[in-house]
Structure 1
Amino acid sequence: MPEVKVADRQWTVAAGSNLLDTLNQGGVAVPYSCRAGSCHACLVQCVNGDVRDSRPDALSPAQREQGWRLACQCQVIEDVQIHTFDPQRDGRAAQVTAADWLSPDVLRLRIIPERALRYRAGQHLVLWAGDVARPYSLASLPEEDRFLEFHLDCREPGQFINAARQMKVGDPIFLGELRGGALHYDPEWHDKPLWLLAAGTGLAPLFGLLRSALHQHHQGTIRLIHVAHDAAGHYLAKPLAALAAKHQHLTVELLTTAEAPSALAQLRLVSRQTQALLCGHPDRVEAFAKRLYLAGLPRNQLLADVFLTRG
């Protein structure tokens, strides 16, 4: 049976064992979120030996050449020595510049990295607080904001959430992998209707994408719908209202969970050229998508990203 070695630990595992499970069960804490090869929180490096990788396309050729692998997508098939991701060595240093509550459940973090980070609206980034990590979508816009902004749903406890609740201005934080995600704004959509449907803090990346569309002078109508558990959950109501007042082609609809089913049932496409961007909990995104398909939206005109609740 193959052996796994991490620093001064070494143990035998069954051939074919999932690498992420092997490491965590062996007492080596490796963070994870999606277990689908998307979030990149479980990045590790093979320094001797290799593993069977079911998602070799998830990393760049340069990363793979350096031995980086996504532990959740790998099986142990031979002796292997692993270096876990060290945020101080392998990440990018940053500092918390703001930590404030936008609602009773949503914490806004603003972070300034020591070295400038090139990104686009809709991407997500792995944040490291000490030895715990979690991916979060960027709510900021690189063309307008000097900081990186994240909206953290703090309703459920979790290791990263517990650490984030204690963060203060000036605290260090480290940045891991920057990922593309499914969401983006394409300038070729400039004259098409654009619908943005968000649930909870799924609003974060769509807020950045909305501002990106407006920054690029989107000419088509824009409709943003935000579904929250209750009225207090509409944590960006004021900035969204300000944008709608400034841009006549933007409409904003704020719905509670109780109001959402009947309101969504009334959705009607004004054009089959409509482009839709969805984000939130998987169940809510599925409900959004189903309603839009029933309304006649072509499947290739819908982009969706889902948020998992693990904190």
Structure 2
Amino acid sequence: MPELRVAERCLDVATATNLLDSLLAGGIAVPYSCRAGSCHACLVRCVAGELHDGNPEALDAAQRQQGWRLACQCQVVSDVQVEVFDPQRDAAPASIHSCDWLSADVLRLRLTPQRPLRYSAGQHLQLWTENGIARPYSLASLPGEDPWLEFHLDCRQGGAFASAARAFQVGDGLRLGELRGGALHYDPDWQTRPLWLLAAGTGLAPLYGVLREALRQEHQGAIRLIHLAHDASAHYLAEPLRALAARHPQLQVELVCAAELAAALAELRLVSRQTLALLCGHPDSVETFARRLYLAGVPRNQVFADVFLPHAR
């Protein structure tokens, strides 16, 4: 039976047991979210021994050389020693510039990093509270234009980070974990192509950044943005989006509620096989969007999607 060492703790675990499950069962606090190797919340460093990594491509070569592994993707197959990610040691400091409610459920969080952060619209970051609560969030800010890092936190469903965020104050410290690039981005080569942006809830956050990047680069093709919300009050960026549409005639903004979604999606008509679609939100909503796009004839390799997974704890 392999030994799993974490700091001063030594755990006996069954061979081929999932590392994340073993750590949690042993009372070791490890944040996690997706369990699929996407969110990178469960980073640990392997300092002695070897793990069987079922998804080595999830981390880049430099991270793997430093010993980093995703606990959810690894199995304990022999004696091994790991270090849990320590945000005080391994994450970059930042402070809260401002936090305000855009709707009853969406908190806008703006952070000032201690050191400048290079990122692209559509990427996401792992955020850590000072007492070790972690959650990945997409960036809604636009690099080179916004002087802060902006995130839109959906607090409707709760979760440890969202609950902690309700007490955030200007000047409080947070930590910035790994910067990740998902499927959402803007490519300058898309300049003349029709662009559809479909967002559910705070899935709008990264698409808001991508939209503004497209407009900053003077995108010439038609842009159609659909935001799905549970009711009219939850269209938390309605006014900024309408203001953008007023300034940019190529942009069409549609704000729809759940009862109106089927009719809105039925109106999607493909006028060009060059159309690109970017989707973001809850997995069920993204699946609904993707199914309609398939029926509308958008080629699969022209659909880019990120999903916001439910809170794991």
TM bucket normalised to smaller = over 0.9
> SS at 2:95's partner residue?
strand
Matches within 5 A, 1:224-243: 224-243=225-244
Quote the sequence identity (%).
68
What count of residue pairs does the alignment treat as equivalent? 311
Aligned to 1:73: 73
- Quote the residue 1:117 is aligned against: 117
SS at match of 1:81: strand
| TM alignment of 1:166-185, pairs within 5 A | 166-185=167-186
Q: Deviations over 1:52-82 (max 9, x none)?
A: 0011111121111111000000000111111
Query: What amino acid is the match of 1:211?
Result: R
What's 1:42 paired with?
42
Alpha-carbon offset, residue 38 of structure 1? 1.0
List structure 1 segments (4+ residues) > 3 angstroms apart after TM superposition.
none
Q: Residue 82 of structure 2 aligns to a residue in which SS?
A: strand
* SS in structure 2 of the partner of residue 213 of structure 1: helix
Which 10-residue stretch deviates more, 261-270 or 98-107? 261-270
Matched with 1:212 is 213
User: What residue is the counterpart of 2:25 in the other structure?
Assistant: 25
For the pair 1:107 / 2:139, whether they are aligned, the reply is no
Structure 2 letter corresponding to 1:86: D
Cα distance in 1, alignment partners of residues 70 and 304 from structure 2? 24
Aligned to 1:274: 275
For 1:128-207, list aligned pairs within 5 A.
128-129=128-129, 130-207=131-208
Amino acid at match of 1:99: C
When structure 1 is superposed on structure 2, of 152-161 and 199-208 the one drifting more is 152-161
Shift of 1:298: 0.7
The aligned residue for residue 305 of structure 2 is 304
CA distance in 2, matches of 1:221, 1:251: 8
**TM-score of the aligned structures, taking structure 1 as reference length:** 0.99
Partner Cα distance (1:280, 1:193) in 2: 21
Structure 1 residue 247: Cα displacement: 0.4
TM-score after normalising by structure 2: 0.98
Gaps of 5+ in 2: none
Residue 26 of structure 1 aligns with an amino acid whose one-letter code is G
Structure 1 residue 51, shift from structure 2 partner: 0.5
Which letter does structure 1 place at the counterpart of 2:225?
Answer: L
Provide the secondary structure at the position in 2 that maps to 1:258.
helix
Structure 2: how far apart are the matches of 1:50 and 1:94?
34
Provide the aligned C-alpha RMSD in A.
0.8
In the alignment, residue 241 of structure 2 is paired with which amino acid?
L
Q: CA deviation at 1:266?
A: 2.1
Distance 1:85 1:91 in 2: 9
For 2:294 and 2:63, the matched residues in 1 are separated by 38
> 1:252 corresponds to which residue?
253
How far has the Cα of 1:185 moved from its partner?
0.8
**Letter of the 2:216 counterpart:** H
Counterpart AA for 2:281: G
In the aligned structure 1, how far is the partner of 2:100 from the partner of 2:310?
A: 21
